[in-house]
């Protein structure tokens, strides 16, 4: 009986000591997690950037359409303006006769976004714009606003004003360039 108590004490103590993880096991798990994070992080950032670009692109398209609708309803020329300022992308709709500087600008954070070189809207004083006449037709310059990501420059989203009656459409980067542009 006595030997069985002694056996239990030594065996139970050994079992209690074996609970938990060694430092080597913890380091191994951390290493695996680190490798998986390093593989997944760029993909995740790409998805986040793409979603931000798409959301901002939708807002810009709605702004352009808003300027066109106001021009038609008020029967006077109206303008959509877009600029980058202090890390923000800002857009406004205002009468053509009013200075864009006095317009009420709406801000969108530019985190990892930029107005791309493929943008073909008219530009004056750092402000991109498109104008609509009193009937809602494009008065000055068809074109596109293209946004791209600073982290993944090949990811692009664009709003295109493609006809004189002001039809707008959205697009994204294509696999083959047309006229040197990826977003068409």
Whichever domain contains 53, its CATH number is 3.55.40.10
Position 2 in a domain:
no
Instruction: Measure the CA–CA gap between 50 and 147, rounded to whole angstroms.
Output: 10
Position 8 in a domain:
no
Query: Residue 124's domain spans which residues?
Result: 22-183
For 91-128, the pLDDT digits (tens) are 999 999 999 889 999 998 877 889 999 999 999 999 99
Over 70: is that where the pLDDT of 4 sits? no
For 12-53, the pLDDT digits (tens) are 555 555 678 899 999 999 999 999 888 888 888 888 889 989
Averaged pLDDT, 129-156? 92
Identify the DSSP state of 25: H
Plot region of 126 (φ>0 → left; ψ -120 to 50 → alpha; else → beta) = left
Predicted confidence at residue 130, as pLDDT, reads: 96
Position 40 in a domain:
yes
Please check whether residue 101 is in contact with residue 117, taking contact to mean a CB–CB distance below 8 angstroms.
no
Position 7 in a domain:
no
Position 85 in a domain:
yes
The set of residues, in sequence order, having a beta carbon less than 8 Å from that of 65 and lying 6+ positions away, is 168
Instruction: Measure the CA–CA gap between 141 and 120, rounded to whole angstroms.
Output: 9
Residue corresponding to tokens 């074996």: 18
Q: How many Cβ atoms sit within 10 Å of the Cβ of residue 150?
A: 11
Position 15 in a domain:
no
Position 153 in a domain:
yes
Instruction: Measure the CA–CA gap between 53 and 43, rounded to whole angstroms.
Output: 15
C-beta pairs of 41-47 under 8 Å, 24+ apart in sequence = 45/151, 45/152, 46/149, 46/151, 46/152, 46/155
In angstroms and rounded to an integer, the radius of gyration of the C-alpha atoms of the chain is 29
Higher pLDDT, 68 or 16: 68
Count of domains observed in the chain: 1
Position 3 in a domain:
no
Determine how β-strand 78-85 pairs with β-strand 106-109: unpaired
Over 70: is that where the pLDDT of 84 sits? yes
Q: What is the pTM of this model?
A: 0.78
Predicted confidence at residue 138, as pLDDT, reads: 96
């Amino acid at each position: 009986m006595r030997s069985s108590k002694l056996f239990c004490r030594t065996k139970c103590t050994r079992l209690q000591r074996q609970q938990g993880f060694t430092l080597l096991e913890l380091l191994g798990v951390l290493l695996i997690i680190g490798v998986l994070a390093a593989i997944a992080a760029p993909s995740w950032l790409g998805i986040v950037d793409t979603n931000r670009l798409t959301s901002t692109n939708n807002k810009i398209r709605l702004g352009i359409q808003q300027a066109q609708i106001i021009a038609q309803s008020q029967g006077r020329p109206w303008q959509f303006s877009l600029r980058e300022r202090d890390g923000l992308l800002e857009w406004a709709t205002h009468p053509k006769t009013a200075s864009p500087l006095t317009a009420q600008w709406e801000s969108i954070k530019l985190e990892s976004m930029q107005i791309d070189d493929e943008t073909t809207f008219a530009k004056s004083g750092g402000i991109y714009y498109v104008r609509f006449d009193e009937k809602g037709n494009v008065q000055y310059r068809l074109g596109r606003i293209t946004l791209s990501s600073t982290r993944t420059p090949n990811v692009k989203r664009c709003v295109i004003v493609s006809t004189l009656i002001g039809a707008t459409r959205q697009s994204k980067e294509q696999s083959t360039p047309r006229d040197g542009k990826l977003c068409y």
